[in-house]
Amino acid sequence: MKIGFVGLGIMGRPMVVNLINGGHELHVYDVVGVPSDLTAMGAVAEPDGKSVAAATDVVIVMVPDTPHVEAALFDAAGIAAGLSAGKLVIDMSSISPIATKEFASRVNALGCDYLDAPVSGGEVGAQQATLTIMVGGPEAAFARAKPLFELMGKNITLVGGNGDGQTCKVANQIIVALTIEAVGEALLFASKAGADPEKVRGALMGGFASSRILELHGKRMIDRNFEPGFRIELHQKDLSLALAGARALGISLPNTATTQELFNACAARGGSKKDHSSLVQALELMADHQIGQPKT
């Protein structure tokens, strides 16, 4: 299959590698240029999204935020300008569910199908092709795209219509953020009380409190490894979508709001590009104590 891919960052680049390794022809574009290792693997670098769409049957978008998706799709030299009837557009970014429905409508008007298919699993999941993929859109389009999704992920679910994939991703990000915050509080409490946080983490991994976040991000907190797998600034964006959606629905998400404030505190201290597990540093600042620090 001829596949277009727009957005070759931390997530997009390894996803392209997996599609190439799956035997597909890739036409790719990124505003900052195409990595040479992708062209060495056979990917064709295109000058813009229009050229990507014109050369392919399926176009995948993987960019940071709602305005970036809108620009990738609908700028003068964007993807929509190169579409023709029967093509499929798949947005795998994490963006506004409301905007997603509008984008789908505009692409449908061109005679093309649209899927929103945000992912969870971070850079490691993208590299290992183990992403969780949450899809919104028509069943026939999902069936057409599923063999491609299977080259990039493991847990692939058609949630509902356009926008429902993005809604599912927002729900995912609420759970992830609040669990990071809970793990940070627990390990900080243990450390301040004089217990070895690594041994506490090991004990908790065998009980009901066990989670992938305790396993992976708890280890990051203890080791002080905040090199980004998923940046704070991106999680801030996702929680902003959650809180805006909550206002529109007339509901309260109090712990989501509190966790967003902790992300905001980290960003204010220059940590917006650190891994989201570094949220623990906001808690440590308030406690005047760093996890792993000897009790005084």
DSSP E strand stretches across the chain: 2-6, 25-29, 44-45, 58-61, 88-91, 113-116, 119-120, 131-136, 153-160
Angstrom distance (rounded) from CA 191 to CA 197? 6
Of the chain, the end-to-end C-alpha distance in Å amounts to: 63
Would you call 169 a catalytic residue per the annotation? yes
25 vs 131: CA distance, rounded Å: 21
Name the strand (E) or helix (H) holding 216.
helix 212-223
Q: Out of 50, 169, 237, 274, which one is annotated catalytic?
A: 169
Distance CA 183, CA 214 (A): 6
Q: Which residues are catalytic?
A: 169
